[in-house]
Structure 1
Amino acid sequence: MAPVPCAICKTSRALIIRPKNHQKLCKACFIAIFEAEIHHTITTTALFSPGDRIAIGASGGKDSTVLASVLKTLNERYNYGLELFLLSIDEGIKGYRDDSLETVKRNAQQYDMPLKIVGYDELYGWTMDQVVETIGKKGNCTYCGVFRRQALDRGAKMLGIKHVVTGHNADDVAETILMNLLRGDLPRLARSTSIVTGDSTSDVRRSKPLKYAYEKEIVLYAHHKKLDYFSTECLYSPEAFRGSARTLIKSLERVRPSTILDVVRSGEDMAKLVPAEVTGLSQCKSQKVSLSSADGEEDGSAGCGSNGRSSGGEMADMERKLQDDEAASGREIEITTVSSTNGQQHARVAGKSRKEVGRKLTRQTLGTCKQCGYMSSQDICKACMLLEGLNKNRPKMEIEVDVEDEESSTLRRKIEGLALAAG
């Protein structure tokens, strides 16, 4: 069988089948298209301005390594005028993060970028190994996620930077949308679909330049560019709820390759139905464009949250119909049957209109935590609340007791009680 030519240049041999649309490409054309799509995302969403100082959240993994490489390339090619830094968080996971940090240090030399490393132990007095030892593996990703987001912002402030970019890809965004949909958390779903978190008035903004890039294509790009990255999975992540969402997304992708972008676009459409005052976000001008769909369509005029296939009129019509249905429900009366004293049944008309039953969405207002001063929509930020629970469970003294028999067990409980009382 003759070699298949590249679908773009028509001359070189095709070596890559794009997971996004099964297009057959040569190595050079794939790299060029991948970088062009990231450039398209950056320019159409106006992520950066000339002179911006940008901190790249670097973990040493494929996503952040590719992000650093692509941003350096595009910054030089298109003269963005950005000053790039690497910001890495040391969660304190032995056998995982300590090894990946060595990769980050090599990346800093390879890309000639300054590197700042901030540790959980430095910020919170806990490492993730200690957290897992205290609470177990179930739910530990909640602690790590809250601490990591805050650590990125604090690290950026240490560098005097107001914009952090992370390597979240289309697969990550689709998983987050699915998780929040299963939880019924529409405000958080709306915030997670935005390519930018925060605005020019925020202390620190976060953005996702790889939002529309498939994870498999990121791996292909790293492989063909021969990038140096760390590929070991976190020791504690298999217990996370996100793993279930990831399994479902991957299963759907095998049947329909466009599933990932379809979920992302659906999440963007649903986000438009959530009031901006509830999400804490203004109408997101940063989401006015989605990248091309699997068949190559592009539409840059479809507005905020566009899926690239329509003007969004269908969702607006649906919203109007829902409002009409809610208004009609207020005019309904409820008729029930009740038994009289002589055993006969008759109809009774309720005097009050049926009340709409629904969950009230609370409005999110960004302020600062009263304890640590970090930006938070609550009086006490999530990190401080989690730390308070951890510190209450931290043992006051190390005591080894033989607990083989009942008498030793009783003695251990008495000693623990005395230790708590002393604390």
Structure 2
Amino acid sequence: MDICHKCGNPKIIIKRKQSGQMLCQECFIKSIQEKVLKDIRKQKLIEKGDKVLIALSGGKDSVMVLDILNSLRKRRIIDMVAVTIDEGIGGYREEGVMIAAENAKKLGIDHRIISFKDTIGRTLDEIMADSGDRNACTYCGVFRRWILNRVAREEGATKIATGHNLDDETQSILMNYLEGNIHNLTRIGVCSDSSYEGFTPKIKPLREIPEKETALYTLARGLPVHLAGCPYAGDSFRAKIGTFLKEISQDHPTIMYSTLRGFDKIKPAIKKEFSKKSSMGICRVCGEPSASTICKACSFRNSWNVD
């Protein structure tokens, strides 16, 4: 009979293919929490006294980050604030925003909701209606980063925590390699390392946690999450790479871990050889850090004549 390898409980909720380990609900939750907190200490992602801004979408990954980092807040090691960005995707985003607010309220964490419409003048739906062939992820990524950096500074946050998991990170590695975007590869990692004072460092506490385990964690913890997928993501290059990785992982369950470990070993050499040495300045329109006179977000906005 299968039993939990930690406590002997016969009620198993997971068997990890990569290790063969079987765990019951309580031991699985504990193992995930210990792993994430250990990675935070090992990578020095958080220091005592940090104020961490949680990028809280309401999805399983960001809700899990909120839940685990709240243990540090309760011990008064850190302070926290949660921010949800409403991109304005009809029939999809409303539920995620509501669930994000529910999770933050339950834990007593300050929560802000920032919309594309109020901040940049258009919803993502409106942007895509006039975008031509450009991918929605291009606009969404630029504006989300722009908003998070501004809000982090307004809130006095010293770190921005995102819910990027193992699947997300290996997808990014493979995508940028296949596209030959070596410069982007130099920026992938557990923590952004820009030394420019206008940027708030971004951390990824779930970088070594598989996506299926983030889903199981929120289910085991009984946390409300928004499970629907973004309607704009289905045909994206990232989605295709994600499908490929999931399929190959069926026969090679450690492939994402080995991809991540291998990349981390060669990243210093890639960074040394290919990092662009560009002088960072200030966008003359919005005042945000930018390598050009106008940042990408304002470049998009100017093309729409949006103030």
What TM-score, normalized to structure 1? 0.68
Residue aligning to 1:38: 36
Query: SS in structure 1 opposite 2:12?
Result: coil
Identity of aligned residues (%): 31
Q: Does 1:101 align with 2:15?
A: no
Tell me, in whole angstroms, the C-alpha distance in 2 between the residues paired with 1:160 and 1:204: 10
* Per-residue deviation, 1:53: 1.0
For 1:88 and 1:152, the matched residues in 2 are separated by 9
Unaligned runs of 5+ in 2: none
Of the three residues 270, 287, 293, the one matched with 1:373 is 287
Decide which moves more: 233-242 or 216-225. 233-242
CA contact 2:56–2:62 (8 Å) conserved in 1:
yes
* Residue 181 in structure 1 maps to residue 177 in structure 2: yes
Amino acid across the alignment from 2:23: L
Q: Is the 1:87–1:116 contact (alpha carbons within 8 Å) kept by the matching residues of 2?
A: yes
Instruction: Please tell me whether the aligned partners of residues 53 and 160 of structure 2 are also in contact (alpha carbons under 8 angstroms).
Output: yes
Equivalences for residues 134-283 of structure 1 within 5 A = 134-136=130-132, 138-199=134-195, 201-276=197-272, 278-279=274-275
Matched residue SS, 2:184: helix
Distance verdict in 2 for CA 1:221–1:212, change over 3 Å: same
Pairwise mapping of residues 18-33 of structure 1 onto structure 2 (< 5 A)?
18-33=16-31
Match of 2:47 in 1: 49
Deviation at 1:172, TM superposition (A): 0.3
Structure 1 SS opposite 2:205: coil
**Equivalent of residue 63 in structure 1, options 61, 64, 73:** 61
Task: Provide structure 1 residue ranges, at least 5 long, that are not aligned to the other structure.
Answer: 280-361, 393-423
Amino acid at match of 1:6: C
CA deviation after TM superposition for structure 1 residue 98, in Å = 1.6
* Paired letter, 2:53: A
CA distance in 2, matches of 1:387, 1:91: 15
Which amino acid letter does the alignment assign opposite residue 68 of structure 2?
V
Residue-pair matches, total: 306
Displacement after TM superposition at 1:50 (Å): 1.3
Residue correspondence of structure 1 range 273-422 to structure 2 within 5 A: 273-276=269-272, 278-279=274-275, 362-391=276-305
Corresponding residue number in structure 2 for 1:6: 4
Q: Is the 8 A contact 2:53 2:80 kept in 1?
A: yes
Residue 238 of structure 1 aligns to a residue whose secondary structure is coil
Which aligned pairs between 1:110-129 and structure 2 lie closer than 5 A? 110-129=106-125
Q: Provide the C-alpha distance between the structure 2 equivalents of 1:240 and 1:159, rounded to a whole number of angstroms.
A: 33
Q: Is the 8 A contact 2:73 2:80 kept in 1?
A: no
CA distance in 1, matches of 2:56, 2:198: 22
Q: Note if contact 1:190-1:270 (Cα within 8 Å) is conserved in structure 2.
A: no
Deviations 1:352-396 (A, max 9, x none): xxxxxxxxxx4233322222211122222111222233449xxxx
Give the AA of the match of 2:34: A
CA contact (8 A) 2:283 2:295 kept: yes
Q: Which has the larger radius of gyration?
A: 1
SS of alignment partner, residue 150 of structure 1? helix
**Are the equivalent residues in 1 in contact too, given 2:55–2:148 (CA < 8 A)?**
yes
**TM-score, normalised with respect to structure 2:** 0.93
Superimposed CA distance per residue, residues 290-316 of structure 1 (whole angstroms, 9 cap, x where no aligned partner): xxxxxxxxxxxxxxxxxxxxxxxxxxx
SS in 1 for 2:82: strand
- What is the CA deviation profile of residues 307-330 of structure 1, one whole-angstrom value per residue up to 9, with x for unaligned ones? xxxxxxxxxxxxxxxxxxxxxxxx
Higher normalized contact order (CA 8 Å, seq sep 6+, divided by chain length): 2
Looking at structure 1, the residues matched to 20 and 39 of structure 2 have their Cα atoms a distance apart, in angstroms, of 21
Residue of structure 2 equivalent to 1:415: none
Aligned to 1:284: none
Distance 1:100 1:257, change over 3 A: same
Question: How far did 1:277 drift?
Answer: 8.2
Give RMSD over aligned pairs: 2.0
- Aligned counterparts of 1:275 and 1:179: Cα–Cα separation in 2: 17
- Which SS does the other structure have where 1:118 is aligned? strand
Instruction: Kindly state the Cα deviation for residue 275 of structure 1 after the two structures are TM-superposed.
Output: 3.7
State how far apart, in whole Å, the 1-side matches of 2:297 and 2:118 are.
14
Q: Which amino acid aligns with 1:28?
A: E
Quote the Cα distance in structure 1 between the aligned partners of 2:20 and 2:269. Answer: 33
- For the structure 1 residues 368 and 194, does the alpha-carbon distance in structure 2 shift closer, same or farther, using more than 3 Å as the test? farther
